[in-house]
């Protein structure tokens, strides 16, 4: 049996964008060819994606792939857990800046941020330095900032308050409660929800989703990770977004078509226009 679940029966009533995926990453020795992943996604109404590079190799891949596929734009960064691994962090960040300005299909700098779950105290200084550099790159080159935040809510906001947020920024795979959601929204964030919102133990996350204004909500897969129910434990891909959006509409009390239309428009606004 394939590690990838079947294509959902639900076809979304309005096209949407998966604003965060990693189509270059395979798991368990299995991956989908990019063309196959994009075709499956389009068949259920997920017509565009943001391909995210989170180390130098995947950032280069994202830039090249976005130039080949009109339904794709790119985001480039050093993931917070990657930053402490570089002997010459400045040189790596200089390359990220070069990639961020490689062509107009590179719309975002991310995923950057802080991760206090996987990186210990010895790596925090490198994470913070890298995060500041990414914020600066996004602001100077008018790129959307896409933030990874794991077990670091307060520290992320403190750094953003110190550096100043760009005009457009997205909290990738939002993982906080309603109080943290309000704090991000007060600073102008778009909040992006992944398959985790469908899981039984995600009550705080659904409470947060319920209070997000319709013009600030986004959806993502983080594929091949964070697979939504009912397929948790199998591989994720953009074509599984209908499962996530159906739950999001139910939690919010939204009409599914209206929510899809809002998510589509919000993603364009968050990433600097249509593509």
Return the pLDDT at 26: 83
Strands (DSSP E) contained in 5-162 are 16-21, 46-53, 72-76, 106-115, 144-150
Q: What is the pLDDT of residues 176-208, one digit of tens each?
A: 999 999 999 999 999 999 999 999 999 999 999
pLDDT at 120: 81
What are the pLDDT digits (tens) for 93-127? Answer: 999 999 999 999 999 999 999 999 888 888 999 99
- Buried b or exposed e, range 37-66, using 16+ CB within 10 angstroms: bbebbbebbbbbbbbbbbbbebbbbbbbbb
Q: Closest Cα to residue 199, out of 175, 169, 179?
A: 175
- Superfamily for domain range 16-270: Metal-dependent hydrolases (3.20.20.140)
Q: What pLDDT was estimated at residue 177?
A: 98
Closest alpha carbon to 272 in 13, 17, 1: 17
d(CA 163, CA 101): 21
> Any idea where the domains of the chain sit in the sequence?
16-270
Q: How far apart are the first and last CA of the chain?
A: 36
How does DSSP classify residue 14?
S
pTM over 0.85: yes
Sheet holding 144-150, edge to edge: 16-21, 46-53, 72-76, 106-115, 144-150, 169-171, 190-193, 217-219
């Amino acid at each position: 049996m394939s590690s990838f679940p079947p294509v959902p029966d639900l076809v979304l009533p309005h096209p949407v964008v998966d604003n965060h995926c990693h189509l270059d990453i395979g798991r368990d020795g299995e991956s989908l060819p990019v063309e196959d992943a994009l075709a499956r996604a389009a068949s259920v109404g997920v017509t565009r994606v943001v391909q995210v590079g989170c180390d130098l190799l995947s950032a280069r891949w994202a830039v090249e792939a976005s130039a080949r596929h009109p339904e794709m734009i790119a985001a480039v960064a050093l993931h917070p857990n990657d930053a402490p691994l570089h002997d010459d962090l400045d040189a790596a960040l200089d390359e990220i800046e070069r990639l961020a300005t490689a062509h107009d299909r590179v719309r975002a700098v991310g995923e950057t941020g802080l991760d206090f779950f996987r990186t210990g105290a010895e790596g925090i200084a490198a994470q913070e330095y890298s995060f500041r550099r990414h914020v600066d790159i996004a602001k100077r080159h008018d790129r959307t900032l896409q933030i990874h935040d794991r077990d670091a809510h307060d520290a992320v906001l403190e750094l953003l308050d110190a550096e100043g947020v760009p005009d457009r920024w997205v909290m990738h795979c939002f993982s906080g409660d309603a109080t943290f959601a309000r704090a991000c929204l007060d600073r102008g964030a778009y909040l992006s929800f992944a398959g985790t919102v469908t899981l039984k133990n995600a009550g705080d996350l659904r409470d947060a989703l319920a209070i997000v204004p319709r013009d600030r909500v986004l959806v993502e897969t983080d594929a091949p990770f964070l697979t939504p129910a009912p397929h948790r434990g199998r591989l994720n891909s953009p074509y599984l977004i209908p499962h996530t959006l159906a739950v999001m509409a139910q939690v919010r009390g939204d009409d599914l078509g209206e929510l899809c239309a809002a998510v589509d428009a919000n993603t364009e606004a968050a990433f600097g226009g249509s593509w």
